[in-house]
Amino acid sequence: MGEREGRSWGGLGPVRQLVVPALLALELLVFASLSDSFLTGPNLANVILNSVDLALIAGGLTLVIILGGIDVSTGPALGVVAWVVGTSTVAGTPAALTVVLAIALGALLGLVNGAIVSLLNVTAIIATLGTAAMFQTALFGLWGGTDLFAPPVSRYAATDRLLGVPTVAFLVLVVYAVLWYVTRYRAFGRHVYAVGNDTEAARLSGVAVRRVSLAAYVLVGALVGLAAVVYMARVGVVQATSGTNLTLAAIAAVVVGGTSITGGRGSVVGTLFGVLFIAVLQNGVVLTGVPPLWNGVLVGMFILVAVGIDVVSERLSARKAATR
Amino acid sequence: MSSMSLRPQRLRVTNLLRERTALLLVLILVTSVVMSVISPYFLVLDNLLTMTQFGAVIGLLALGQTLVLLGGGGGIDISVGATLSLCGVLMGLVVGEGVNVWAAAGLALAAGLLLGALNGFAVTVVGIPALIATLGTLYLFGSAAQVLAGGTQVGGFDQAGFSFLGTGTVAGIPAQVLFVLLPAYALAAWVMRRSLFGRRVYEVGNNGQASRLVGSSPARTRFVLYCVSGLLAGLGAVVTNSWLLVARPGAGEGFELQSITIAVLGGTYIFGGRGRVSGTLLAVLLIVILGSGLQLAGVDPSWQGGVLGVVLVLAVVLNNAFLRGRGERR
C-alpha cells in the first residue's frame, strides 16, 4: 500500500485516480457545449456556493470511510445543527459564538456516533442508520411545525467574494489542505489507513483503534457543524427534513472520488473531485433544461459507473499481477 | 470474532436464536400490556387485526432484507424502498394505458425481479460492494420513479376488485396479511429450513470461501437473494397500490431503515449466516404493536422514527451482549 501511495496523490491506483478528473473534464466539455451560460463566472461561482456544505461533510466522511466505517447520519445531523444556528442567529448571538456552538454541537453528535460504533461495537451502518432516525426525530421536535427563517450568520458565510471567488470556497480549501496533510503526514492519518486496511494488524502494532475511530466520527461531526453554518447562510430556512439530501450526496462524492467503501484506500483530494463532479452535474443538468428530477438518476448512474470501473480495473490489475 | 473455533460458535448461535425468539415474545407481551394500560382501545380484537395491515408491506421488505443479509459477504439492500416506489409507478402508468390491473400487478412483480437482478448483477458479477451498489440503485430507482410519475402521483387502480387486496378483510383479518404476508413468510421459512437452497444460503453466509470449496457458488446464491428481495419489493408495491389506490413516487422512502431495523431486531446477524425468517416476522409484529400503540397514545407518527432508531441500536447492542456473554461463560 505504501508503495502505491508514493506514486499517486493519495492511495489510489494509477487508473482509478484518473477516472474522476477525466469524467469531470468530460462533464465540463459536454455542459459547456450544451449551454452558453455554463462556463460563465457567475454560474461557476454558483456551483461553488452550492457545494460548500457538501464538500465539508464529504471531506470528513472520507476519513471515516477510509477507516472502514460509514456515516449515514450526516444529513439529519446537519439539520439539527442548522436549526440551532438559525435560532442562535435570530436571538442575536455574536456570529463567532454561533459558529463555535455549531462546531461543538456537530462534534457532540459525531461523538454519539463514535461512541456507539467504537465503544458499543455496533456496526457503523447500523449505528448511524439508528442515529440518523434519532437526529431526524430531534429535528422534527425542534422544528415543531413552524419553518425557521434566519439571516446568514455573517456575510462571509454567504455571498461575500474574495478576488471574485466566493469566500467560503477558501474555507473548503483550508479544510481540505489540513485533512490532506493530516492523512498523509500525521500519525493519526496513517492510523486511519492502517485501521481500514486491517483492523487486527493495526491493533497488534499498537494503534489505539477505538480512539482513532472515535476521533474520526467526532471530526465528521465537527465538519457537519461547520457545514450547517454555511448551509443556513445559503438556504436561510430550516424545515423538518432539512439536510436529508446531503447524506447520500456526501457518500456519493466520497466513493465517486475513488475512496474504497471497504476501507483502507482513498484520499480527500479524490473526494474534492467527487464533490465538484456532483456539483457540476447538478448545475449543468438544470442549465441544459433537463428536468431536475433526473438528477438522482444521473448521480446513481455515475456512482455505479465510477465504482464499477474502479472494481473492474482493480480486478484486472490483480489478475495481471498474478499471471506475471 | 473470526478467531473463534467453529463448534462452540454453532452451539452458541442456536442458543442465541432460541433466546431471541423468547426475547421477542416477551417484548411483544410487555409492549402489549403497556399499550393496553395506556389505551383501552388497544386490546379490542378489531384494533389488533386492523393493526396487522400496517405490517404487511414493511414485512415483505424486511423479509427480502433478511434474506440478503443472511447471504453474507457484506450483502445489504438499501434500494428496497426505491424499488417499491419504481414498481408502483410502473404499475400505475401501465394501468393508465388501459391494461388490466391484475396484469399490471404481474408486471410490477416482474419489474421488481428485474430491478433485484440489476442489484445482484452489480454486486455479484461486477463486484461493487453491496452498500454502494444498492445506494446507487436507490438513487437510480427512486429518481426514475419521480421522473416517470412526473413528480406527482399516478392513479386509476379502482377496478376489478383490486382494492380488496389492500383494504378487504376475511374473518376480520386484512386480506393483504392473509393472502400476501403470511404465505410469503411461510414459503420463505420452508425454503430456508427445508430446501437445499436455504441450506446453501446459510453456508454462503457463514463462510463464502468454504462453500465455494464444497462446490456451490456464493455469487449465484447471493444473486438469487437480490432477485428475491426485488420481487418482494414489487409485491410490496402491488399491496401499497391496492391500499392507497394511487401510486406515489415516494411511496417507499424510509423503508430501507425500517426493513434493516426489523431484520436486525429479529436476530439476523448483519454479517450474514445467522438469523431466521420467523424472528423477522416476530420483529414485524413488535414494531407494528409499538407503532400502533404510540399512535393510540397520541404520539405523532413522526416520533416513531426516532423510537425505531433507538430500538435498532439497542437490538444490536443486545446481540453483542449475548455473543459476549456466551464467550465469557465458556
Q: Nearest CA to CA, how far is A130 from chain B (Å)? A: 4
Helices (H) and strands (E) in chain A, counts: 13, 4
Per-residue pLDDT at B15 exceeds 60? no
pLDDT of amino acid A6: 38
**Which cell numbers in the block locate residue B132?**
454502494
Give me the residue label for grid cell 481540505: A176
Quickly state the pLDDT bin for A308 (edges 50, 70, 90): confident
How far apart are the C-alpha atoms of A31 and A223, rounded to whole Å? 31
- Judging contacts by C-beta atoms under 8 Å, the chain B residues touching residue A248 are 135, 138-139
pLDDT of residue B162: 80
A278 three-state secondary structure: helix
Alpha carbon distance B174, B290 (integer Å): 19
Number of neighbouring beta carbons within 10 Å of residue B86: 33
C-alpha span between B170 and B49 (Å, rounded): 11
Is the alpha carbon torsion for B83, B85, B88, B90 positive or negative?
negative
Look up residue A122 and give its amino acid.
V
CA distance A10 to A176: 13
CB-based contact B91:B237 (threshold 8 Å): yes
Return the C-alpha cell found at A177: 489542505
Residues A15, A21, A26, A32, Cα dihedral to 10°: -170
| Per-residue pLDDT tens digits for A77-124 | 999 999 999 999 989 888 899 999 999 999 999 999 999 999 998 889
pLDDT tens, residue by residue, B218-262 = 888 999 999 999 999 999 999 999 888 888 888 888 788 789 889
B29: which 3 cell numbers? 407481551
Task: Evaluate if residue B98 carries a pLDDT over 80.
Answer: yes
The closest alpha carbon to A104, from A223, A235, A210, A214, belongs to A223
Q: Which of A122, A248, A308 sits opposite B139 (nearest CB)?
A: A248
pLDDT, one tens digit per residue, over A123-175 is 898 899 899 989 999 999 898 888 888 888 777 777 777 777 888 899 999 99
A223, A106 in Cβ contact below 8 A? Answer: yes
Amino acid at B92: G
Residue A41 grid cell: 463566472
Residues of B with CB under 8 A from a CB of A: 74, 76, 122, 126-129, 131-133, 135-144, 146-147, 150-151, 257, 260-261, 264, 270-271, 302-303, 305-310, 312-313, 316-317, 320
The three-class DSSP label of residue B238 is helix
| DSSP code for A115 | I
- Is 70 exceeded by the pLDDT of residue A32? yes
d(CA B199, CA A216) in angstroms, rounded, equals 40
Mean pLDDT over B203-230 rounds to 82
Distance CA B16, CA B8 (A): 12
For residue B140, give the chain A residue with the closest CA.
A297
- pLDDT confidence of A1, banded at 50, 70, 90? very low
